[in-house]
């Protein structure tokens, strides 16, 4: 017997998150392991009157590209990809890895080259999304590989994933709408502030947000969701931060990341593991050394680190700051081929001040 939570997840994604309409061209992209969710999303899309198409991949192809591909092949972007990004109305990207480590030995320079080559597609993707022309969603289907990364059994991991999405409730859509209201209250307050100072172990960092909006993320772009975020001023971040959890990029974990900022730019960067990848990505382009995002994680249904940023950046009681590309729709100006989220736990003595006023303590807002 199938898991009814998969059907419920597909319904939430199609009806609430993406709000598919009759006639929408709807792309579902997934590895083969995500087939159960692909089927349910496809069915829900048909019931909504949309026109679903699928792109199903298999694990290991990107690994082969980096191992055997020339620089020209790694940098190749097809006209089909360019046309697709212009035509689709909505996109669902399903993460369902069979092996999360298959790129752990890939050449960091080749990974950076591929990211740079893909930039024209990602820039157009974000431009259409910012203009309201493209609705997108990233979600996850639980697999053994994800469970192993999270150090859980598959059954435990399934419960973790579906509970984080409120799919254990009778009416998850109603629950997400309530979350939206509460997070909007916080976002509205933060929009009135100019400077945010974060204090935690080995961390004292100030970023500036005057003139920038805060976005309330409540299940419309990521699922599960739960964060409020902004794009800070690219030129003013000062101080230092030590990230609590490993920062994972292309399957490789960079551990104990410590960054020092001056005038908005990373001027010192170290890591106890994966420092070569860290430095390679920081040197990808000028924007890679500046913040593109600063956020508070607000999903208190997620309390464990799972080595998957879709969940880890939402952990209730954490903050995450992303190096690289900013969000133009809220005033962000930083441009980069990189957008790399890193998470700092604030639950044990962490504090945040807005314009000198304590607004957040031990992982919870006090406003």
Centre a 10 Å sphere on the Cβ of residue 161 and count the other Cβ atoms it contains: 27
Integer CA distances (angstroms), 43 to 4, 48, 51, 136, 147, in order: 14, 9, 10, 18, 27
Check pLDDT > 90 for residue 354: yes
The ranges assigned to domains in the chain are: 4-141, 172-365
pLDDT tens profile 149-185: 999 999 999 999 999 999 999 999 999 999 999 999 9
Of 87, 182, 77, 185, whose CA–CA distance to 133 is shortest?
Answer: 87
> Please, what is the Cα angle at 138 between 256 and 328, to 5 degrees?
80
CATH number (3.40.1830.10, 3.40.190.10, 3.40.50.1010, 3.90.180.10) of 4-141 reads 3.40.1830.10
Per-residue pLDDT, averaged over 192-197, amounts to 97
- For strands 238-242 and 258-262, give the pairing: antiparallel
Q: In this predicted model, what pLDDT tens digit does every residue of 125-146 receive, in sequence order?
A: 988 988 889 999 999 999 999 9
Cα–Cα dist 120/268, whole Å? 29
- State the virtual CA torsion across 238, 242, 246, 249 in degrees, nearest 10: 20
Name the H helices within 193-348: 275-282, 309-312
Sequence-distant (≥ 6) Cβ neighbours of residue 295 within 8 angstroms: 227, 228, 229, 230, 313, 319, 320, 321, 322
Given this model, what pLDDT does residue 1 score? 53
DSSP H helical segments within 131-284, as ranges? 144-149, 154-164, 172-191, 275-282
pLDDT tens per residue across span 200-229: 999 999 999 988 999 999 999 999 999 999
Residue 219 is given by DSSP the state: S
């Amino acid at each position: 017997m199938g898991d009814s939570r998969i059907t419920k997840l597909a319904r939430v994604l199609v009806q609430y998150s993406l709000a598919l309409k009759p006639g929408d061209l709807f792309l579902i992209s997934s590895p083969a392991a995500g087939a159960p969710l692909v089927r349910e999303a496809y069915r829900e899309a048909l019931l909504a009157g949309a026109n679903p198409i699928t792109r199903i991949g298999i694990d290991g192809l990107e690994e082969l590209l980096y191992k055997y591909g020339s620089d020209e092949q790694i940098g190749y972007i097809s006209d089909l990809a360019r046309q697709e990004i212009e035509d689709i109305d909505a996109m669902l990207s399903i993460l369902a890895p069979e092996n999360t480590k298959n790129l752990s030995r890939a050449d960091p320079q080749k990974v950076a080259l591929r990211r740079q080559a893909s930039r024209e597609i990602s820039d157009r993707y974000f431009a259409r999304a910012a203009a309201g022309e493209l609705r997108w969603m990233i979600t996850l289907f639980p697999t053994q590989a994800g469970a192993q990364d999270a150090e859980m059994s598959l059954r435990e991991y399934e419960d973790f994933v579906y509970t984080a999405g409120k799919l254990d409730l009778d009416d998850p859509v109603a629950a997400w709408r309530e979350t939206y209201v509460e997070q909007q209250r916080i976002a509205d307050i933060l929009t009135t502030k100019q400077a945010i100072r974060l204090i935690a172990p080995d961390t004292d960092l100030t970023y500036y947000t005057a003139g920038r909006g805060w976005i309330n993320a409540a299940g419309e772009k990521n699922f599960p969701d739960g964060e409020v975020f902004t794009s800070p001023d690219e030129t003013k971040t000062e101080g230092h931060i030590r990230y609590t959890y490993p920062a994972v990029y292309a399957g490789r974990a960079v551990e104990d990341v410590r960054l020092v900022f001056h005038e908005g730019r990373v001027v010192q960067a170290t890591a106890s593991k994966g420092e070569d990848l860290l430095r390679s990505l920081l040197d990808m382009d000028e924007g890679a050394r500046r913040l593109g995002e600063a956020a508070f994680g607000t999903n208190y249904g997620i309390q464990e680190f799972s080595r998957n940023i879709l969940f880890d950046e939402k952990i209730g009681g954490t903050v995450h700051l992303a190096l690289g590309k900013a969000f133009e729709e809220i005033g962000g100006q930083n441009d980069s081929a990189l957008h790399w989220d890193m998470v700092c736990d604030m639950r044990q003595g962490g504090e945040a001040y807005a314009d000198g006023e304590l607004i957040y303590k031990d992982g919870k807002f006090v406003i």
